[in-house]
Amino acid sequence: TANLASELISKKQANDPSVAAGLPVCVTKGLAISSKLKKSYPNANIIEVEGIHQKYDHLFEGKCDLVADYAAGFEFMRLNKTLNPDCSLEWVGRAVDVGSGGPANIVDAGVYCTSLVGNVFDYYMEDMHRDGFIEKSKERLFNSVATHSCPKQAETEASPDAEESSQLTMVDMGGIFVVHGIACVLGLLISYTQRCWDRRTKEHDSGVHQNEIT
């Protein structure tokens, strides 16, 4: 899966995305981060632009003080010598939002068992995440498109809470177990009721048959 963390990027220092409430923030029109900022910071001075590169052009031209972008998008721009020749682009503040994405499959646990496909994807993607394959692949991708080298910012400085905020707690997962528990109880009740009904039906039919014989 691809974890897409949206950051505030600026040539100035800032401690929190709440600075967007007073500073013009450039975002690409139509992206999810634009809607997220509007919802989370209704007083923010958001400037929507067409295209991905235009918001960075606005930043260097002084038309906006901040740019909201995906983590991967910012990294591509940071390593672009034409756009960022002096390595002045910096990730400031924390991640505004951390989302997940990945392959989709039809959920079917009864006939074709296609749900197993999703489980297989989850297993191997998690395995690749644990052994560092995904991070190494991202690093190779960035190096393959980089036109110059800039010092890498420490992840703890950029987004100290991003990893923690994306983890599910037992409280978050409690609802899943409750729903499954209710479904199991209902299934047992329906099965028991059906068996009792079938038994009474057979006894009734047997009694009617005996009466007809006598």
pLDDT(190) > 70 = yes
- Phi (first) and psi of residue 55, to 5 degrees: -65, -35
pLDDT(129) > 70 = yes
| pLDDT confidence tier of residue 9, bands split at 50, 70 and 90 | very low
pLDDT(127) > 80 = yes
The residue-averaged pLDDT of 16-24 equals 59
Single pTM value for the model? 0.52
> Where does residue 68 fall: left (phi above 0), alpha (psi -120 to 50 degrees), or beta otherwise?
beta
| Residue 51 or 187, more confident | 187
Which residue is it, tokens 């329906």? 190
The residue-averaged pLDDT of 19-29 equals 74
Distance in angstroms (rounded) separating the CA atoms of residues 14 and 86: 20
The residue-averaged pLDDT of 104-111 equals 73
Q: What percent of the chain has pLDDT over 70?
A: 74
- Phi (first) and psi of residue 184, to 5 degrees: -65, -45
| Residue 169 or 197, more confident | 197
**How crowded is residue 36: how many other Cβ atoms within 10 Å of its Cβ?**
16
Helices marked H in the chain: 32-40, 53-60, 71-78, 115-130, 133-145, 155-158, 162-165, 170-213
| Contact indicator for 93, 66 with CB cutoff of 8 Å | no
pLDDT(193) > 50 = yes
| Residue 115 or 157, more confident | 115
Cβ neighbours of residue 15 under 8 Å, at least 6 residues apart? 92, 93
Which residue is it, tokens 């999703």? 118
